[in-house]
Chain A
Amino acid sequence: MSPNNPALANDTEALAKSFGLNAEEYGKVLEIMGRIPSLTELGIFSVMWSEHCSYKSSRIWLKELPTKAPWVIHGPGENAGVIDIGEGMAAIFKMESHNHPSFIEPYQGAATGVGGILRDVFTMGARPIANLNALRFGDPSLPVTKRVVDGVVRGIGGYGNCVGVPTVGGEVNFHSAYNGNPLVNAMTVGIARHDKIFLSAAAGIGNPVVYVGSKTGRDGIHGATMASTEFDAASEDKRPTVQVGDPFTEKLLIEACLELMQTDAIVAIQDMGAAGLTSSSVEMAGKGGVGIELNLDHVPQRETGMSAYEMMLSESQERMLLVLKPERSEMARAIIEKWDLDYAVIGHITDTGRIVVKHKGVVEADIALDPLAEAAPLYRRPFVETPKPAPLGKVEHTTPLLEALEKLIACPDLCSRRWIFDQYDSTVGGQTVKRPAQADAAIVRLEGTKRALAITVDCTPRYCVADAEAGGAQAVVETWRNITATGAKPLAITDNMNFGNPEKPEIMGQFVSAIKGMAAACIALDFPVVSGNVSLYNETEGRPILPTPAIGAVGVLEDAAQAVGYGLNPGLALVVIGETRGELGRSLYLREILGREEGAPPTVDLIAERRNGDFVRAQILSGTVAACHDVADGGLLVAVTEMALAGDAGVTLTQENGAEYWFGEDQARYVLAVQDAAALLAAAAAAGIPATQIGSSVNGNKLTLPNAVAISLPQLRDAHERFFPAWFA
């Protein structure tokens, strides 16, 4: 029986084009098939070879990133990265984008982004213990931005709160470059025992292939293809390609899978994410070097009359594909059905090396798996790296320091995110040691142990657009610093590469440069990449986003009680570790106070980062540091203000200096609050590390500069807390 559909033959090439395959790619399909593909086959090729699934533009560059370390258990290539965190436990984590759907339909786009990344983590056997998110929105003065922010925040909360995984951290930026293309990057961290990690490689000829979870509907068909094209004015018509999330079913799926994973029933397991049943079945069989035969008659369906094409391409949410040991399948069915989830045997593993899809007695697809994977397009696209920016010349300062400070801490990029995180359940699970806005990284204890993970997400796109190499390095070092500033040892990262159209050489150049910078930072800091996601074509009507290589990082504390936050108590000396040269290029001060987006971003000195960070961490673990904050967006005075506001303690500063000193965004710096400044300064001097006491925390509610000019904390707090509540009042 041939899966061919002659009626299609004439139109197939045009159809292939509309599915996102170019003429050359379609030629390869014909070569592999030796005939005109059926509609279902063409659908399978087009999603597997989409940018989203095949990484065809990015793959050769991603290989430049370091992925190994003694503590890495599984690097890129699995559903998520796995690292050793001691005591026989592993952290399993990944960050993934849901950018395109979140613009078209913000609530569901963001919600299903959270759902998808959760599944990538628990499919490996981990109980998810933390969610984070990295969000970029357009100009806040536009009504559409407000609508998108509202929907995305509600969507993240609606899903995360319901599944009962605490949302413990994140970051938010605004820039007009994201007006038509917001970024929603969601990260999940889970915990498993080393001996209970589940992989996706199918094995065992004849083993049943089992479908678990929600029923399949027509939602999300060709979502992966949508995520691989630019936007235009008609994009809103793509709303039907956005999936609808059901966090209740996800919660059942988590509990059912984790319960099943306590048995020895599972041979392989993978979630049905982008490209749904197609990618899960193709990847599981491909990785296992076996074949797979599916009978779609048995797929649980939410709608009637669904075709093979629709079922293979559907991106309905909350579904998993399992290969089970046949003798355990009835026990598995009992567990899954206890949780009121669908359980259906929809096929079996074969030795043919092919995927065969049958529906109503007809072979709808029959494709050799090796060529489908190996002949997948791989492009070394032409690229032009962004010319290095001219250094920022002399800057005239007209705004008094405290006036500039008040304005800076009120601006959308620096103001309090309380309005956002107050909508996310950050305490469910009972292990959240440091909640949002208490420390530079979220701290979540590992239940039943003293250990904790420190987790953060960071990227500074305004640096990346000026110099993607420096920006890529800076994103990595900032996560490393944020973990270090809690006392934790940074272990590994996940990257979420958000860029414009890679077919434009200058965009590809941004990507190449960012990878170069990230790789250098990862090597210098022993901070490998263990998982990641690439999102390209983030453009609307030809306008690209700022290059945004968002980094999610995980570190470990042997004793959660050693974690420090950044809130100040009175009576402590404030010491800056690291050199302050006063680099204002691309700083928020320059943009918000002087209205300029110019110059080179701050220098990233990887040797200084490593040296200063290792020193700070050792000080924290020695128990002498009461609070610690890395110096980042906004510079030193903003960091000190955040510390004062977080602890509700006054600050008196003693360093007479200008705007460069207080607002420069020089890297590799931390503010430490200690009882004994002399001891810290001596230790720093002995280690050859720049350290300066800049003042003290005091009783009272004022921040006072050396010239006795002061501003009250309530005034600063009002400014800091105003933006979001006023915007959504």
Chain B
Amino acid sequence: MMKAAILLFPGINRERDMVLAVRQSFGHEPAIVWHKETALPAGTDLVIIPGGFSFGDYLRCGAMAAQSPIMQAVKAHAARGGYVLGVCNGFQILTEAGLLPGALLRNAGLRFLSMDTMLRVERADTVFTNHWQKGAQFRAPMAHGDGNYTADTATLDRLEGENLVAFRYADGNRNGSARDIAGIFAPNLRVLGLMPHPENLVDPLMGGTDGKPLFDALASV
């Protein structure tokens, strides 16, 4: 069973949601790691950066958090082939830290978007997605003001060419993301960033379990 650590930056606000999802699938409590720490807990396999407004998003989203002390340890963890999952603000932080390419701009309509969206699974042969079929669609709540994925054409072509797009919006591209991209992998397929929140649909009482396969897949590594 993977040992998970959830990073906590000031202003992060979906860490409790993430704890619930991890606890349910993994059967144990993830560690919570304050951003001023310089090392991950010994034996950490999976680093999760949850959503929120780290440092208020007063600079570019994720830009301040990417400079926090713990991120050096996360970069080293990723360089060693460790698993990293960034959701929403976590995705933004991963792009700002250079662990994933591209950037997340203001939503095309310049308004915060909070609603369910359908995501298409673009590849199912990764540690994150192997509980889905390729091409499967699942529902995930989105809640962001800056989810408009962008990168230069060469980068986008490379992501497509190397099959690194993880998820695409399947029922309308509300935030303006290039090529409907909702989430991407790093080339080693061990770092995943996505904007919507699978962790908010892991309980039938909250409207469904569409997001649970992500955590079940990670739990079965």
Interface residues of A (CB under 8 A from B): 154, 157-158, 161-164, 246-249, 251-252, 339-340, 421-433, 435, 445, 447, 560-561
Given contacts A248-B58, A430-B20, contact A164 B10 (CB under 8 A): no
Which 6 residue pairs across A and B have the least CB separation, nearest first? A164-B13, A248-B56, A430-B17, A425-B143, A162-B53, A427-B200
Cross-interface CB contact of A252 among B10, B115, B145, cutoff 8 Å? B10
Within 8 A of A (CB), among B94-135: 111-115
Contact A162/B197 with A421-B114, A430-B17 known, Cβ cut-off 8 Å: no
- Most A Cβ at <10 Å: residue of B10, B55, B115, B202: B10
B158 within 8 A of A: no
CA of A432 to CA of B114, assembled, Å:
13
* A residues near B55, Cβ cutoff 8 Å: 248
B115 touches A422 (CB 8 A): yes
Q: Is the CB of B11 within 8 A of A430?
A: no
Closest B residue by C-beta to A163: B13
Contacts of A161 in B (CB 8 A): 53, 112, 114, 143, 145
Give me 7 A-to-B residue pairs in the complex whose CB atoms sit less than 8 angstroms apart, sorted by A's number: A162-B13, A164-B14, A247-B53, A247-B56, A427-B114, A427-B197, A447-B16
A252 to B35, CA, bound (A): 14
List the B side residues contacting A340 at CB < 8 Å. 10
User: Shortest Cβ distance from A152 into chain B, in angstroms?
Assistant: 14
Contact across chains for B10 and A425 when beta carbons are under 8 A apart = no
Chain A residues with CB under 8 Å of B51's CB are 428
Kindly state whether residue B193 has any CB partner on chain A within 8 Å.
Answer: no
Given A251-B11, A430-B20: A422 touches B114 (CB 8 Å cut-off): yes
Report the bound CA distance from A163 to B52 in whole Å: 8
In the complex, what's the smallest C-beta–C-beta distance from B168 to chain A, in angstroms?
A: 21
Asked if B147 lies at the interface with its beta carbon under 8 angstroms from chain A, I say: no
Hey, which chain A residues are within 8 Å of B206, CB to CB?
A: 427, 430-433, 445
B200 contacts across to A, CB distance below 8 A: 427-428, 430
Rounded to whole angstroms, the CA-CA distance of A463 and B52 in the bound complex is: 41
Task: Verify A427–B143 contact, CB threshold 8 A.
Answer: yes
B11 / chain A contacts, CB cutoff of 8 Å: 162, 248, 251-252
Bound CA–CA A158/B144 (angstroms):
11
- Provide the residues of chain B in CB contact with A426, threshold 8 Å: 114
* Contact residues in B for A561 (Cβ distance below 8 Å): 205
* A430 neighbours in B (Cβ, 8 Å): 14, 16-17, 20-21, 199-200, 202-203, 206
Q: A248-B11, A248-B58, A422-B113 are in contact. Are A433 and B205 (CB under 8 A)?
A: yes
Q: For residue A164, which residues in chain B have a CB less than 8 angstroms away from its CB?
A: 13-14, 52-53
Give min CB distance, A250 to chain B, whole Å.
Answer: 10
* B90 interface contact, C-beta 8 A: no
Q: Is B183 an interface residue (CB 8 A)?
A: no
Q: Which residues of B contact A423 (CB under 8 A)?
A: 111-114
Closest to A158 in B: B112
Q: Which of chain B's residues 177-207 have a Cβ closer than 8 Å to chain A?
A: 197, 199-200, 202-203, 205-207
B86 within 8 A of partner (CB)? no
Q: Which residues of A contact B113 (CB under 8 A)?
A: 422-423
Which residues of A are found within 8 Å of B56, using beta-carbon distances?
Answer: 162, 246-249
Residue B30 at the chain A interface, CB threshold 8 Å: no
B141: interface (CB < 8 Å): yes
Kindly name the residue among A163, A164, A339 whose own CB sees the greatest number of chain B CB atoms within 10 A: A164
Cβ A428 vs Cβ B58 within 8 A: no
Interface of B is mostly: mixed
Are A251 and B13 in touch, CB under 8 angstroms?
yes
In the complex, what distance in Å separates the CA atom of A560 from the CA atom of B55?
34
Besides the known contacts A162-B13, A247-B53, A424-B112, 20 further A-B residue pairs in the complex with CB atoms under 8 A apart: A157-B112, A161-B53, A161-B143, A162-B53, A246-B56, A248-B57, A252-B11, A421-B114, A422-B114, A422-B115, A423-B111, A427-B141, A428-B200, A430-B203, A433-B205, A435-B207, A445-B206, A447-B16, A447-B20, A561-B205
Chain A residues whose C-beta falls within 8 Å of the C-beta of B143 in the assembled complex: 161, 425, 427-428
- Which residues of B are found within 8 Å of A435, using beta-carbon distances? 207
Chain A residue, CB-CB nearest to B114? A425
A419 nearest CB neighbor, chain B only: B111
A426 to B206, CA, bound (A): 11
> In whole angstroms, how far apart are the Cα atoms of A163 and B56 in the complex?
9
Q: Which chain B residues border A163 with CB–CB below 8 Å?
A: 13
Provide the bound-state CA to CA distance between A425 and B199, in Å: 14
When distances are taken between beta carbons in the complex, the residues of chain A under 8 Å from B53 are 161-162, 164, 247-248, 251
Tell me which of B16, B115, B143 has the highest count of chain A C-beta atoms within 10 A of its own C-beta. Answer: B143
Question: Cβ of A158: which chain B residues have Cβ within 8 Å of it?
Answer: 112
Task: Provide the bound-state CA to CA distance between A424 and B56, in Å.
Answer: 17
Contact with A along B1-40 (1 / 0, CB 8 A): 0000000001101101100110000000000000000000
What is the chain B residue whose CB lies nearest that of A436?
A: B114
Q: Contacting A425 at CB < 8 Å: which of B58, B112, B203?
A: B112
Q: Which residues of A contact B21 (CB under 8 A)?
A: 430
Closest-by-CB residue of A relative to B20 is A430
What B residues does A154 contact at CB under 8 A?
111
Bound-complex Cα distance A282 to B205 (A): 46
B10→A429 contact, CB < 8 A = no
Contact with A along B197-221 (1 / 0, CB 8 A): 1011011011100000000000000
- The smallest beta-carbon distance between A527 and chain B, in angstroms, is 27
With both beta carbons as reference points, the residue of chain B lying nearest to A254 in the complex is identified as B13
Given the complex, which residues of A lie within 8 Å of B112, measured CB to CB? Answer: 157-158, 161, 423-425
Which residues of chain B have C-beta atoms less than 8 A from A431's C-beta?
206
Compute how far the CA of A29 lies from the CA of B119 in the bound complex, rounded to whole angstroms. 66
B113 to chain A: closest residue by CB: A422
Q: How far is the CB of B77 from chain A (nearest CB, A)?
A: 24
Contacts of B20 in A (CB 8 A): 430, 447
Contact residues in B for A429 (Cβ distance below 8 Å): 16-17
Q: Could you tell me the distance in whole angstroms from the C-beta of B194 to the nearest C-beta in chain A?
A: 15
Provide the bound-state CA to CA distance between A422 and B58, in Å.
22
Nearest Cβ distance between residue A692 and chain B, in whole angstroms? 32
Residues of the B chain whose Cβ atoms lie less than 8 Å from the Cβ of A246: 56
| CA of A424 to CA of B115, assembled, Å | 9
* A647: min CB distance to chain B, Å: 14
Contacts of B141 in A (CB 8 A): 427
How many whole Å from B10's CB to the nearest CB in chain A?
Answer: 6
A154 to B205, CA, bound (A): 29
The distance from the CB of B169 to the nearest CB of chain A, in whole angstroms, is: 15
Q: Mark out the residues of chain B between 28 and 85 whose CB falls within 8 Å of any chain A CB in the assembled complex.
A: 51-53, 55-58
Q: Which residues on the B side are within 8 Å of A428 (C-beta)?
A: 13-14, 17, 51, 143, 200
Q: Which of A247, A428, A447 neighbours the largest number of chain B CB atoms within 10 Å of its CB?
A: A428
CA distance A502 to B51 in the complex (A): 47
Residue of A247, A421, A422, A560 touching B205 (CB-CB under 8 A): A560
Distance between A176 CB and nearest chain B CB, rounded to angstroms: 27
Report B128 CB to chain A, min CB distance, Å. Answer: 20
- Given the known interface contacts A425-B143, A428-B17, the answer about A248 and B10 at a Cβ–Cβ threshold of 8 Å is yes
Q: Which residues of A contact B207 (CB under 8 A)?
A: 435
- What is the CA–CA distance of A246 and B11 in the complex, to the nearest angstrom? 11
Chain B nearest CB, measured from A457 CB (Å): 19
Given the complex, which residues of A lie within 8 Å of B16, measured CB to CB?
A: 429-430, 447
Question: Which residues of chain A are near B199, meaning CB under 8 Å?
Answer: 430
Inter-chain CA distance A424–B143, complex, in Å, is 8
- The answer on a CB contact under 8 Å between B10 and A339 is yes
CA distance A434 to B163 in the complex (A): 38
Q: Which residue of B lies closest to A421 (CB)?
A: B114
Give the residues in chain A near B145, CB-CB below 8 Å: 161
CA distance A163 to B197 in the complex (A): 17
Measured between C-beta atoms, what is the minimum distance from A430 to chain B in Å? Answer: 4
Tell me, rounded to whole Å, the shortest Cβ–Cβ distance linking B38 to chain A. Answer: 16
Bound Cα distance from A243 to B210, whole angstroms: 42
| A252 vs B205: C-alpha distance when bound (angstroms) | 30
Q: Is the CB of A251 within 8 A of B10?
A: yes
- Which chain B residues lie closer than 8 Å to A249 at the CB level? 56
- A567 CB to closest chain B CB (Å) equals 12
The interface residues of chain A lying within 8 Å CB-to-CB of B203 are: 430
Q: A424's contact among B10, B13, B114, B197, by CB below 8 Å, is which?
A: B114
